[in-house]
Structure 1
Amino acid sequence: MWSDIIHEFADSPSQGRVVRFLLENGFGVNTDGKICSNGIDIPATAIAKAIGSDRRVVDATARRILERPFLRGIFLNMRATPDLSRVAESLGLSVITVMPKDANEKGIVGAAVRVLSNHSLAIRQIFVTDPQFSEDPKLVIIMEDPLPAGVVDEIRALPQVRQVII
């Protein structure tokens, strides 16, 4: 699906950068053709500055999204969710980051969750970066409990795992 979205902008690399940025950040487009996050408008100038582009490219991308039913349905319903990993310590939560050997391989999340579940650990949030948008995709798991001894070694021993960061 992501490749279909990016393919829609193959003829315009500058608009392709805008779309990639919107997807990476969970930003949508409202019916007025404005970039938004959870219903809050984000100025096109701010998006343009963040990606080193021009406001007009951002506006043209938003209009193009609304003109295509496939894209319209996606971006009108896009929602951003908070990433608790950056505030986990302040909230008294634990974070474990799993770097996969091959992010396109199936079962990475299930295998890691199974290890945590076997130790009765409560998971608050799971965040996975999409391998099509991230140069270094990862699985981030935020838990209520501190990690008991051996859990990191069990996750590190999974065949899909390249590295574990705590």
Structure 2
Amino acid sequence: MWESLNSKFSKYPARMTVAQKMFELGLRIGEDNKIYCGNLKISDSALAAAANVDRRVIKSTVNVIVQDEDLFEVFSNIVPAGTLLKNIAKNLGLGVVEIEAGEESEGILAAVATTMSEHDIDIRQAYAGDTKFEGNPVLTIITENPIPGELLNEFIKINGVLKVSVL
């Protein structure tokens, strides 16, 4: 998909910015060619402000996507992921660990989940940065309870892990 976006928007970086922002925020294009987050209609000016572009770029980006069958198939089926608990985890008594991965990031989530399972730590939420957007993606895991300090040493030993932080 990103190759298709790059070819469509290579001469129009502002349009690429809009497409990336829509993807990041879980925004879809509806049958009426309007932009939605779930069933909430998003104004062109609001998205333009978030993407730091002129609002006319929103319309032109949507038009290009709608005219491309493959891109429209993707952008008409995006669903927002829901509430991310990271910023409110402490308020809820939950634990947060962030694990920065290098180029060799395959299997990190499985290894971290296995390690937590071995220590009877329940995972409430996990999400990872997209390697297409980030050079070193970050895996964020929200746990039922704060992470014990001794686990940090186990996480850092996992192949591909560059850095571990408890928030």
TM-score (norm 1): 0.91
Q: Does the 8 A contact of 2:97 with 2:140 survive in 1?
A: yes
Opposite residue 19 of structure 1, the aligned amino acid is A
1:61 positional shift: 0.8
1:149 positional shift: 4.2
- In the alignment, what sits opposite 1:92? 93
Q: Does the 8 A contact of 2:100 with 2:163 survive in 1?
A: yes
Give the distance between the partners of 2:2 and 2:114, measured in 1 at CA: 28
1:98 positional shift: 0.2
| Aligned 1:79-118 pairs, distance under 5 A | 79-81=79-81, 82-102=83-103, 105-118=105-118
For structure 2, the residue ranges without an aligned partner over 5 or more in a row are: none
For the aligned residue pairs, the C-alpha RMSD in angstroms reads: 1.6
Opposite residue 109 of structure 1, the aligned amino acid is L
Opposite residue 10 of structure 1, the aligned amino acid is S
- In the alignment, what sits opposite 1:26? 26
Opposite residue 140 of structure 1, the aligned amino acid is T
Q: Secondary structure at the match of 2:96?
A: strand
CA 1:86/1:55 → structure 2, altered by over 3 Å: closer, same or farther?
same
TM-score (norm 2): 0.90
CA 1:140/1:78 → structure 2, altered by over 3 Å: closer, same or farther?
same
> Aligned pair 1:38/2:33, yes or no?
no
| Aligned 1:4-19 pairs, distance under 5 A | 4-19=4-19
Give the distance between the partners of 1:108 and 1:3, measured in 2 at CA: 26
Q: Does the 8 A contact of 2:5 with 2:16 survive in 1?
A: no
- In the alignment, what sits opposite 2:64? 64
For structure 1, the residue ranges without an aligned partner over 5 or more in a row are: none
Opposite residue 64 of structure 2, the aligned amino acid is R
Worse-matched range after superposition: 140-149 or 1-10: 1-10
Opposite residue 128 of structure 1, the aligned amino acid is A
- In the alignment, what sits opposite 2:124? 124
Q: Secondary structure at the match of 2:117?
A: helix
Q: Secondary structure at the match of 1:131?
A: coil
1:112 positional shift: 1.4
1:62 positional shift: 1.2
CA 1:49/1:136 → structure 2, altered by over 3 Å: closer, same or farther?
farther
CA-to-aligned-CA distance 1:17-50 (integer Å, 9 cap, x gap): 1111111222111111112111211111111112
**Percent identity of paired positions between Structure 1 and Structure 2:** 30
CA-to-aligned-CA distance 1:101-145 (integer Å, 9 cap, x gap): 22x531121111111111121111111110211355200001112
1:159 positional shift: 2.2
Q: Does the 8 A contact of 1:98 with 1:161 survive in 2?
A: yes
CA 1:149/1:165 → structure 2, altered by over 3 Å: closer, same or farther?
closer
Q: Does the 8 A contact of 1:29 with 1:76 survive in 2?
A: yes
How many residue pairs align between the two structures? Answer: 165
